Structure formats: structure tokens, C-alpha cells
Structure 1
Amino acid sequence: MTSSVPTPVRTVLTTTRRHGVRALLMGGQACILYGASEFSRDVDLAIYAHPDNLSRLQGALDELGASVTAVPPFAPEYLARGHAVYFRCAAAEDMRLDIMAVMRNVPDFETCWGRRTIATLDEVGEVDVLGLEDLVAAKKTRRDKDWPMIRRLVDVHYAEFANEPTDSRLAFWLRELRTPEALVDCVRRAPEAAQRMADKRDAVAFALQASISDGPLWPMEVPLHEEEMRERQADEAYWRPLLQEQEVLRHAARRGQRPPLGGGGLTA
């Protein structure tokens, strides 16, 4: 995977790389590298939240002239609870940089690190990128914009590797394909694997039926929509207490205070 990147993105990535920050590129920039997007306004990083690594990250942030733009502050306890920390990088054309250490649906950092993708970027070098399966999982949010991106990510991967199936690729496609035509094509190519998956995913069962009867594909949109709604609701529930904590922090910031974790409306 080789690509060029805009100057401010390159500045952020070269700086974190030079400081030895252990991080995984995710979000829109990762989607670009996987061929599912053409543009993103910010840089998103999954960070290994070990004190030594956070110290290296702080050095990179200082060089980037990065300042926190919202709550919560940049502190390990907030990262550990699943919050994102948002920065603007003055030395990188005011590029926005979002940092997370814990994400819903996504394994711990060490697991993600072990199955990362390494991209070679012009004038940057090697960059560690969140693996495709983990990126798809991370994109299953309550936000409207993420669901078309999930669809494109998996479609691009299927189009590239459909003629080179492996057990792990088949499992990924049958679990994540969201385009009816592609899913029907997949079950036709791998009917035995599809039969095993059909009990776990209604969309695959519908695709199997369509592949046998050569019937219409629109009924598959029903289970696909239900899947999406379940994930959106789960993400809403995940973020609800975090958003409540952020609101407490905003009120505290207006008063010139910072409530400790476990107090002032925050729970341990």
C-alpha cells in the first residue's frame, strides 16, 4: 500500500513517527489508503496508552503546536474510559488531530497492532494503519456518514480479492458485505461457508435464497437495515454516559474547575 498525502497530514504523521509514537492511523485517512474515500479533513489515531508512549506523544504534540480544542483534557484517565481527545495543530496548518485509546467493537491496542496494515507514504515512510476488519468495526457508529463508508470499504476489498478467497477473507465478506449484489455473488462462490454463516446473519440467509431462486435483491435491504439500527443503538448507548461526562467537564471549565473522576458528576 503506497500513497501520497497532503502536506498537513504528512506533517502530523512524520512528527509522530519521528517521536516514536506507537499509534495506528484510522478514520478518514485510513479509508483513503484502503481506497474507499478521496478526502478527509483530519487525522485520527488510535494510541497505545502506556505512560512512556503518551510521553512520546506529548513531545510530538508540543512540536506540532497542538492544543486541545474541547473537553476532555489530554489525560490518561479519559482515554482509558473511551473518550476522544481533540487537538488543533498550529504547525500543521491547523490540522485537526483526534486521539483515542479505547473504542467500542474494537479489540485492545495490542491485538489491533498485531493485525495492522503497513502503508508506505511519500515523504513519510511506513505508517501503521488500523487493520481493515478493525476499521470496519470502528466505523459502526451512530453517525450517518460512517455507514456508506463501511459499505465502500468492504466492497473495495471484495472487488480486489474476490478471485483470491481465503477462509479469513470469506468470513469477513460474509460477515460485513452490505451491497446485495456483492453478497449474492459471494454466497454463490462459497455456498458452504455461506450456509454456515446463514444462522448467524439474516442478510446471508436472504442472499442464499436469492442466489438459488434468482429472485429480487431488495428484500435483503431489510436485514441490512436492521443490522445498522442495532449498531447505531448500541453506539448511542455506549456514548451516552461519555457525553454526559463531557457536559459536566464543560460546565466545570466555564467555572475554571476540573472535576476529578469519581466526583462532580463523573463515575469511576
Structure 2
Amino acid sequence: MRRHRVQCLLMGGQACVFYGAAEFSRDTDLAILASDENLTHLRSALDELQADTIAVPDFEIAHLHRGHAVHFRCRHPEAAGMRVDVMSSMRGVASFPELWERRTTLETPDGIVCDLLSLPDLVLAKKTQRDKDWPMIRRLVEAHYFEFSANPTAEQIHFWLTELRTPSLLIECATRWTEDSRQQIGGRPLLQHALAHDESALESALFAEEQAERTLDKEYWLPLKKELESMRRAR
């Protein structure tokens, strides 16, 4: 992807590994800029990977703008069987130019530079109807809290108060930064339970928050799934 100058961001399970929340992943998930020029670069990279489109939809810019993921399977000997999924638009997540501006750039021990979704954006992208995503969100935010809580920035405190899903840590966070918590109650009412040290009520509110997000995701994907079904029948 870098060799062919594809503007893309690693997300999904492999990005979670970089952020300290181990997850087994069979594929490479990429957020991409859905422009004609960038898709030309992407096609070149996929050609080198000897990647074929699998399932539906076909590799078309309109499908990416609509919110569909396009799936590929690689046949290159050094990536044989690897699946690559690309998306451009996701529910509750900013547009790609915004994601690119606040990306995280890391270098692996062997010198490969990787551009990732920022952690807050990755957490938003993980708020789906899938069971496996919610424990991962919890681990991602926990790992970030443990790494930076000794001397955090205002932005990090805001992120924890917005996204922590571990009752005991959310209570700890609200206790340490009480005024910040009070200011954020309007956006996340369950913080009132954290301020009151009511762990039972907090657990119930966190569950309700998760269920609401799952419902929104199901509603978002319902028309897209109908479109995929129509594509399968047409094929």
C-alpha cells in the first residue's frame, strides 16, 4: 500500500494489536480515501498482491461512498490467502480527510511505517452489533488509560470519560477529574453514577448504552444488507 502511494489507514483487529489490545485477525481492514486517483493507486497495489474481489459488492467507487466494504483475497505467494477489506464510509465515524488528519503513525521494528486510525476513531468504528467488538473497545480504552493516566492531557481525560466501559475505572476517572465529569454529563448521563460511586447503576447504564449502539448499527446496515442481497441475486 505504501509503495503504491495508497492513502489508507489500518483499522480492525490488526490496528487493535498496535494499540495494545491483542486480537486474532484473519484479514487486513483498511479505511481508504474513495477518490478516482487513490483507487487507481489501490488497484495497482491489489494487482501486485494478485488480489481478486470476493463476494459482493464489486470494486466500484459508488459502493464505497454508499458505505459498503469491498473484499479481496490475495494470491501472491507472500500473502497467499490474506483477505483485504476496504471501506471509505462508516457509521458514526468522520469523513476520511478528518480521519487522515488525526491518524496515528507508527514504525515497526523492521522499519515499516504504518498509518492507523486514531484510537478514538477506532473505538467509534468498533461500535457495531457484533459481540466481539464490545470487549475489544473495553480493552482498548483500558490499555490507553493505564498507559497515560499518570500525566494525562485534557484531550485524553475527555476520551476516557466518553469511552471507558470498565465501571471501576470510570468511577476512578470521575473521582480524579470531577469537574471534567460534571461538564460531560450532558453528553454521557451515566457519568452521574460514576460520580456517585454507584457501580451497580453504572453497569446497568453501560449495558443500556451498548444496546442502544447495537440497535443503531442494525438500523444503519439494514438497507445496505438489502442492497447486498439484491447484488447477490443479480450475480
TM-score range, shorter chain: over 0.9
Matched with 2:127 is: 140
Q: Distance in 1 between matches of 2:184 and 2:161?
A: 7
Q: Distance in 2 between matches of 1:48 and 1:145?
A: 27
Q: Distance in 2 between matches of 1:219 and 1:142?
A: 23
Q: Distance in 2 between matches of 1:166 and 1:63?
A: 42
**TM-fit CA distance, 1:200:** 2.5
Alignment of 1:133-172 (within 5 A): 133-172=120-159
Alpha-carbon RMSD across the aligned residues, in angstroms, is 1.0
Counterpart secondary structure, 2:2 = helix
Q: Percent identity?
A: 51
Indicate yes or no: 2:233 matched with 1:251.
yes
Q: Max radius of gyration: which structure?
A: 1
Matched with 1:232 is: 214
Q: Deviations over 1:107-154 (max 9, x none)?
A: 011100010000112445211100000000000001000000000010
Contact 1:87–1:98 under 8 Å retained in 2: yes
Matched with 1:125 is: 112
**TM-fit CA distance, 1:86:** 0.7
Indicate yes or no: 2:178 matched with 1:191.
yes
**Alignment gaps of 5+ in structure 1:** 1-15, 254-268
Matched with 1:265 is: none
Which of the residues 13, 30, 34 maps onto 1:49?
A: 34
Q: Which residue type is aligned with residue 116 of structure 1?
A: R
Q: Distance in 2 between matches of 1:205 and 1:218?
A: 12
**So what's the TM-score if we normalise by structure 2?**
0.97
Q: Distance in 1 between matches of 2:99 and 2:151?
A: 24
Contact 1:199–1:205 under 8 Å retained in 2: no
Bigger shift: residues 182-191 or 199-208 = 199-208
Indicate yes or no: 2:74 matched with 1:86.
no
Q: Distance in 1 between matches of 2:186 and 2:105?
A: 35
Matched with 1:205 is: 192
Q: Deviations over 1:78-121 (max 9, x none)?
A: 00000000111111121010000000111011100010000112
Q: Which residue type is aligned with residue 235 of structure 1?
A: D
Alignment of 1:20-31 (within 5 A): 20-31=5-16
Which of the residues 222, 233, 239 maps onto 2:204?
A: 222
Q: Distance in 1 between matches of 2:141 and 2:28?
A: 21
Which of the residues 44, 47, 57 maps onto 1:72?
A: 57
Counterpart secondary structure, 2:190 = helix
Q: Distance in 2 between matches of 1:218 and 1:119?
A: 39
Contact 1:43–1:97 under 8 Å retained in 2: yes
Q: Distance in 2 between matches of 1:181 and 1:233?
A: 26
Q: Deviations over 1:221-263 (max 9, x none)?
A: 111011101110110011000000000000000xxxxxxxxxx
Counterpart secondary structure, 1:18 = coil
**So what's the TM-score if we normalise by structure 1?**
0.85
* Structure 1 residue ranges, 4+ long, deviating more than 2 angstroms after superposition: none
Alpha carbons of 1:198 and 1:140: their partners in 2 closer, same or farther (altered >3 Å)?
A: same
Matched with 1:260 is: none
Counterpart secondary structure, 1:169 = helix
Counterpart secondary structure, 1:44 = strand
Indicate yes or no: 2:81 matched with 1:99.
no
Q: Which residue type is aligned with residue 244 of structure 1?
A: K
